[in-house]
Amino acid sequence: MLRAFSKLSFRGVSAFVTRCRHGLRLLAGFVLLATSATAQAPVNRIPEVHSTDLTGRPVNLPAMLQQKAGVLVVGFSRESREQATAWGTRLAGDFNSSSEVSFYELPVLDDVPRLLRGVVLRAIAKDVADPGKPHFVPLTGNQEQWKAVTHFEDSRDAYVLVVDGKGTVRWQVAGEPTDENYRAMRRALTTVMGKSG
């Protein structure tokens, strides 16, 4: 009888352990699936911005985009400055006094050493003409989030995002403000303004 009991117990324990292993594998599979789905999900909302423009005025995004469309020109290096400036010039020509569209140039300065940031910011402020200063917002945080939302590939490119009032990216492009890119950006703005109005 003791022998039968120990065989039964061993078989029962063995079956229980096997079921537990199977259950753990199943659980691990679900966790892996959920993790990979999250990792592959596109980032489509901008990080929150709490900074100041070059006039010293606070800029909070996406809060300041309520009932508006936004165009954000993001740069990650000095080499992207030429493209960003070209975008900013075209945007200023069309939207400088717009009540429906806000636009900002956002240089991300995370890679600039902290000790040099003041010098770099003063140099930038000196180079930006007064009319452009309210639209120029240097960023010193969330570089990885900005790289994710812009689908960063080349530090020489300017990354242009059209966003709605919640900060959701509705259109984007990297590179020069070619006529084709600019027309596509304007079409995206029209769509966003139609939804926010």
Same domain, 113 and 190: yes
168 neighbors 162 (Cβ within 8 angstroms): no
DSSP-assigned letters across all residues of the chain: -HHHHHHHHHHHHHHHHHHHHHHHHHHHHHHHHHHHHHHHSPP-BPPPEEEE-TTS-EEEETGGGTTSEEEEEEE-SGGGHHHHHHHHHHHHHHHTT-SSEEEEEEEB-TTS-HHHHHHHHHHHHHHS-GGGGGGB--B-S-HHHHHHHHT---TTSEEEEEE-TT-BEEEEEES---HHHHHHHHHHHHHHHHHH-
Same domain, 184 and 142: yes
Same domain, 110 and 149: yes
Same domain, 136 and 163: yes
What is the reported pTM? Answer: 0.77
Same domain, 111 and 33: no
Q: Which pLDDT score, from 0 to 100, does residue 196 have?
A: 60
CATH number at residue 127: 3.40.30.10
CA angle (137 as vertex; 136, 142 as ends), nearest 5: 145
Same domain, 79 and 172: yes
Q: Could you tell me which residues are beta bridge partners of residue 173?
A: 160
* Distance of alpha carbon 139 from alpha carbon 51, whole angstroms: 7
Same domain, 32 and 68: no
Q: Which pLDDT score, from 0 to 100, does residue 143 have?
A: 95
Q: Which pLDDT score, from 0 to 100, does residue 28 have?
A: 43
- Looking at the structure of the chain, the number of domains it has is 2
Same domain, 15 and 69: no
Segment 161-181 shows an average pLDDT of 97
Same domain, 36 and 54: no
Q: For the segment 37-76, what is each residue's pLDDT rounded down to a tens digit?
A: 334 445 799 999 999 999 999 999 999 999 899 999 999 9
Going by C-alpha positions, the residue among 41, 42, 51 that lies closest to residue 72 is 51
Q: Which pLDDT score, from 0 to 100, does residue 33 have?
A: 38
Residue 12's domain comprises: 1-41
Q: Which pLDDT score, from 0 to 100, does residue 21 have?
A: 53
166 neighbors 62 (Cβ within 8 angstroms): yes
Same domain, 120 and 27: no
Percentage of the residues of the chain whose pLDDT score is greater than 90: 68
DSSP for residue 131:
G
Same domain, 87 and 10: no
Q: For residue 18, what pLDDT band results from cuts at 50, 70 and 90?
A: low
Structure-token pair, residue 40: 């592959």
* Distance of alpha carbon 94 from alpha carbon 56, whole angstroms: 24
Residue 2 above 50 pLDDT? no
Same domain, 63 and 127: yes
Segment 102-129 shows an average pLDDT of 92
